[in-house]
Structure 1
């Protein structure tokens, strides 16, 4: 089993997914997210000029937050994320070559899984956390059923259909990390709009975590 980079200890395990963000707006968006309580930022690689956005965000905010990429599909792209300063690698699937590259670069990893087979493969390959995706299809009960057979110290994440409206269901199922996408950020949103959705998301998560 490959030794993973440990999932970080943060106040709120919320990963902001900025799919579609542009380089000229990324710093303003990330600024309001961090100010609103987010400590982890993901720029999916199917966004416009993603490596430029990642580099800009990392240069300004990388010391105080965990910033990296999502939708990382190749080892070469993973290396480019690292070269840009990214320390977080999120993918929709389990690719052992991508995970090997990420671990060799000291990156925190969260590959996408949907089944026990994929979950165990990801863990053997050095995953820091598992991203159950799409979570809305598995549901909280499906994730809980798979979680029951995984090592007890596995960090369980949920992405896809998770928002301020259903945090409590997933927290009750043992989910410990969340990727928040379109309910938090959509292309074209202003910093003021993102500030408002960030506040709503954080307040909802905090309520669920206290239950």
Structure 2
């Protein structure tokens, strides 16, 4: 389930790369910074190759993002993706992922889409684009009628507001590209990605009651151990 992944990963990098080689470098830099997962988006033709290359990195759990149809689900899983993230809600995608046993995180922006997701057994949804939709205060209000439902805000999330989102009881994790800026990838500044990853985990670990404090159900890359190390540095 996607909840198992999120329990050990309070921040999920949203990765956009133009080559498998860049993807490999990004994945290694994220792991060095203590982050053990990455959502590689289908925004470039290199997405499948990048997923394939990154999936070979020991300890890195790779997902596919910006998945908008069932064909992309199959292609992503064939390349090594272990979970799927969509920018909107598609019943076809959710059903297909469920049938294949692939964790899925669909985006839902209002009560109607949330209720449609609940009907299909979804327990956690993506909230995108979070800042455009009103930020943490809007998410707090939207979540009130749906106790027990988890939200993963993405879109406009960064170091300045990460703690605001993770402080919400309904938020197990946040996603965003601020840890993997395009300029760092373009210029090969992998150390910058590592630094931003460590910074994000420190912020997450400082928020009482957020996902960083919860037991990890999927700890394939030792995410919780790395977060503990950061707390004691």
TM-score range, shorter chain: 0.7 to 0.9
8 Å contact kept, 1:17–1:185: no
5+ residue gaps, structure 1, are: none
Aligned counterpart in structure 1 of residue 126 of structure 2, from 119, 122, 131: 131
Tell whether 2:30 aligns with 1:42. Answer: no
| Secondary structure of the structure 2 residue equivalent to 1:150 | coil
Deviations 1:76-100 (A, max 9, x none): 1111111111111011100111111
Give 1:123 shift.
2.7
Give the whole-Å Cα distance in 2 for the aligned partners of 1:113 and 1:47.
Answer: 24
- Structure 1 residue 55 corresponds to structure 2 residue 55: no
Cα distance change of structure 1 residues 185 and 48 upon mapping to structure 2, 3 Å threshold: farther
Matched, 1:19 2:16: yes
Match of 1:147 in 2: 143
Give the TM-score normalised by structure 2. Answer: 0.80
How many residue pairs are counted as aligned between the two chains? 204
Following TM superposition, by how much is the alpha carbon of 1:124 offset from its aligned partner in structure 2, in angstroms? 2.3
What are the within-5 Å matches in structure 2 for residues 195-210 of structure 1? 195-209=194-208
Q: How has the CA–CA distance of structure 1 residues 95 and 172 changed in structure 2, closer, same or farther, with 3 Å as cutoff?
A: same
Q: How far is the alpha carbon of 1:134 from its aligned partner?
A: 0.9
**In 2, Cα distance between equivalents of 1:74 and 1:56:** 22
Identify the residue that residue 67 of structure 2 maps to in structure 1.
72
With 169-178 and 155-164 compared, the bigger mean Cα shift is at: 169-178
Matched residues in 2 for 1:151 and 1:105: separation? 28
1:103-128 deviation line (CA, Å, top 9, x unaligned): 22221211111101111212323435
Greater relative contact order (Cα < 8 A, sep 6+): 2
Distance (Å, rounded) in 1 between the aligned partners of 2:123 and 2:146: 14
Q: Are 1:115 and 2:110 an aligned pair?
A: yes
> How many angstroms does 1:26 deviate by?
1.2
2:158 to 156, 163, 172: 163
Over residues 103-156 of structure 1, what are the superposed CA-to-partner deviations in whole Å (9 max), with x where a residue is unaligned?
A: 22221211111101111212323435211111102211111111111142x222
Per-residue CA shift, 1:172-204, capped at 9, x if unaligned?
332211102135332415211211211221222
Report the CA distance shift for 1:129/1:40 in structure 2 as closer, same or farther (over 3 A): farther
Contact 1:87-1:106 at 8 Å conserved across structures = no
For structure 2, list consecutive stretches of 5 or more residues without a partner in the other structure: 211-233
SS of the residue 1:113 aligns to:
coil
Superposition misfits of 4+ residues, deviation over 6 angstroms: none
* 2: CA distance, partners of 1:209 / 1:181: 24
Find the counterpart in structure 2 of residue 188 from structure 1: 186
Over the aligned positions, Cα root-mean-square deviation in angstroms equals 2.0
